[in-house]
Chains A and B, each alone.
Chain A
Amino acid sequence: MCCCPATARIPWRPALSFSSSPFVIFLHFLYKIMAVHGPLVKIHPVVLASIVDSYERRNEGASRVIGTLLGTADKHSVEVTNCFSVPHNESEDEVAVDMEFAKNMYELHKKVSPSEVIIGWYATGYDITEHSVLIHEYYSREAPNPIHMTVDTALQSNKMNIRAYVSSQMGVPGKTVGVMFTPLTIKYIYYDTERIGVDLLQRTRASPSRTNGLTTDLAQVASAAGRVQEMLSTMLSYIEDVLSGKVMADNSVGRYLMDLVNKVPKITAEDFESMLNSNINDLLMVTYLANLTQAQIALNEKLVVL
């Protein structure tokens, strides 16, 4: 029988951390209310990393990169799990996309993961140009209702704006018909292991040479404990603010805190001691056996060589 420490589960961030300027908040809000129609777009981080990497490797003179998005789609959402870039040429008045290449790559990718289908395409850059409309038409032949994703790698607004759109017809039927791109909500989802991988990658931001080695075991436990400690101190400062009256008390947050405190199991000291000791004994015994085995095979090695 084992006991769990009180791991901090914070499903809701306190309102203090939303510290951006009011204009940006307004833009976020606007983006949110506009994105009501159309499916929810769930993106895995590997897709974005791929896009950034292909942007970095683009040909001389190309200002943007386009490619295909692969993934799965169901009724209310679209999950983007893979992508590959497609060579294309763009000039003032014409655009040429290597469709053979796109088809070939899709076939190759299908061999590895047969469940992924083309669900749209991406382009780097901030705006949607007329060429995008043409390319979008091509992709509508490949997939029903394709998604168009833009990643602003030129960092126009000091951020990498990642947006997704779906196209819909607009205008007067019969006369001027156009295409409108409606924005969609984006959510980043991770597999558990992906989350762990991304956490490791985040650490490269700290070092000046942008590198990071893989840490040893106890160091990992120490850093995880450090993270929990950070979260606990955030909570504590929030609680102190509420107590001193600086921030309005919020009942739902209070309830979560109650849950948290109640999660620490109440065990008598002797029971806990015995549980702890039995676990420690198990682990020590296993360590001893492992060392014994290693000594045994080393000995065997030496005897054979004799």
Chain B
Amino acid sequence: MGSLKESAVSGSNPLDSPVKQIQIDGLVVLKIIKHYQEEGQGSEVVQGVLLGLVVEDRLEITNCFPFPQHTEDDVDFDEVQYQMEMMRSLRHVNIDHLHVGWYQSTYYGSFVSRALLDSQFSYQHAIEESVVLIYDPIKTAQGSLCLKAYRLTPKLMEICKEKDFSPEALKKACIGYEHMLEEVPIVIKNSHLINVLLLDLQEKSTVADKHELLNLSSSNHLEKSLQLLMDRVDGMSQEIVKYNTYCRNLTKQQQQKQQYLQRRQQENTQRQSRGEPPLPEEDINKMFKPPQAPPRMDTLLIAGQVNNYCQNIKAFTSQNLGKLFMAEALQGHSS
């Protein structure tokens, strides 16, 4: 955290308004793709740090560097030190050394998790404009780059600061799963020299012989997405059951309390009529301990994740429907 604070103070002006748009250099895109391709095949996620600066209401990301994977035999590996070393070295070669966020790859769109929330919260707490870039390699391999930028909404920031995840607090803040993460639009920018390079590359390279985007076989991808969706919905139903039992326990307890109070009253009136001193008022709360309210954060996260899956699936099916109709038109002409 110390490194983040230092880099945030040393140069950028903290803005009050959040960023409205993200501008990414082509170089960053290529680096992220390469990082996943080389290091991410076995494990779930690869992560890295984004460097850049804030210009007016845009966040410009000009460079990035990857984070090594955490392995068990690297116990003495110091994350913070690696970051500091890297940023110091990059400063020597005039690369922007200001932390502006981090990136992570995802598996079929499942990234709404506690870990992500915590990391993004700590980043956004230290640097207001930071974002997390989610790169979906499987969707990209299907034909078009899938890169999204997310920030935590201010409401969620408040809740995380309090660390109070009970139902009452969330009800007060009116947070739904749609208000957890907000997406920021991305724009890719290249300098003139990079454009010249791209021109050169286009002339010299062979034509791509894999047109994945027009591939018609969708069942594999659809199956996996639906499988993940089912798992999450199961998790969701478990959480709902937990919450329902809590509600039921609460009402039962209220009833028990009422009954106890009534009995007390009756006894006291009886005793008074007989002339004996009334029984002392006992502390009800100590007798009937209220049940623990289940934390709602996990439910929110699962709901957010399910929502994400559904949106991805819908996008995928709409694309495939378009392709199928095209295939029909093609077949109709030739037969």
B322 contacts A221, CB within 8 Å?
A: yes
Q: Which one of A29-37, A130-138, A185-193, A236-244 is at the B interface?
A: A185-193
A304 within 8 A of B: yes
A56 contacts B191, CB within 8 Å?
A: yes
A81 contacts B38, CB within 8 Å?
A: yes
Which of B229, B303, B324 is the one whose CB lies under 8 Å from A280?
A: B324
Quick one: which of B34, B202, B296 has the most chain A CB within 10 A? B34
B188 within 8 A of A: yes
Within 8 A of B (CB), among A174-203: 188, 190-202
B14 within 8 A of A: no
Q: What is the CA–CA distance of A190 and B140 in the complex, to the nearest angstrom?
A: 14
B197 contacts A228, CB within 8 Å?
A: no
Q: What is the CA–CA distance of A267 and B335 in the complex, to the nearest angstrom?
A: 8
B82 contacts A9, CB within 8 Å?
A: no
A198 contacts B198, CB within 8 Å?
A: yes
Q: Which one of A141-149, A163-171, A206-214, A246-254 is at the B interface?
A: A206-214
Report chain B residues within 8 Å CB of A297: 177, 236, 303, 306-307
Task: Give the interface size class of chain A.
Answer: 35 or more
Distance to closest chain B CB from A205 (angstroms) = 5
Contact flag A5-B327 (CB < 8 Å), given A193-B137, A290-B310: yes
Which of B82, B195, B330 is the one whose CB lies under 8 Å from A210?
A: B195
A210 contacts B144, CB within 8 Å?
A: no
B163 within 8 A of A: no
B214 contacts A228, CB within 8 Å?
A: yes
B30 contacts A221, CB within 8 Å?
A: no
A94 within 8 A of B: no
B314 contacts A46, CB within 8 Å?
A: no
How many contacting A-B pairs (Cβ < 8 A)?
282
Which of B176, B218, B328 is the one whose CB lies under 8 Å from A301?
A: B176
Chief secondary structure at chain A's binding surface: helix
Chief secondary structure at chain B's binding surface: helix
Q: What is the CA–CA distance of A177 and B163 in the complex, to the nearest angstrom?
A: 73
Residue in A closest to B195 when the chains form the complex, CB atoms:
A205
A54 within 8 A of B: yes
Within 8 A of A (CB), among B1-48: 23, 25-27, 29-31, 33-39
B116 within 8 A of A: no
Report chain B residues within 8 Å CB of A150: none
Q: What is the CA–CA distance of A280 and B318 in the complex, to the nearest angstrom?
A: 10
Which of A85, A195, A283, A304 is the one whose CB lies under 8 Å from B317?
A: A283
Q: What is the CA–CA distance of A231 and B211 in the complex, to the nearest angstrom?
A: 12
B321 contacts A192, CB within 8 Å?
A: no
A287 within 8 A of B: yes
12 contacts between A and B (CB under 8 A): A52-B191, A53-B194, A111-B77, A162-B200, A192-B212, A197-B140, A205-B195, A211-B187, A218-B319, A280-B324, A283-B218, A291-B310
Supply 20 further A-B pairs (C-beta < 8 A) apart from A225-B326, A286-B313: A7-B211, A46-B27, A46-B31, A48-B197, A54-B93, A59-B94, A194-B34, A196-B140, A197-B140, A198-B30, A205-B195, A213-B187, A231-B207, A266-B335, A276-B324, A283-B317, A291-B310, A293-B306, A301-B177, A305-B171
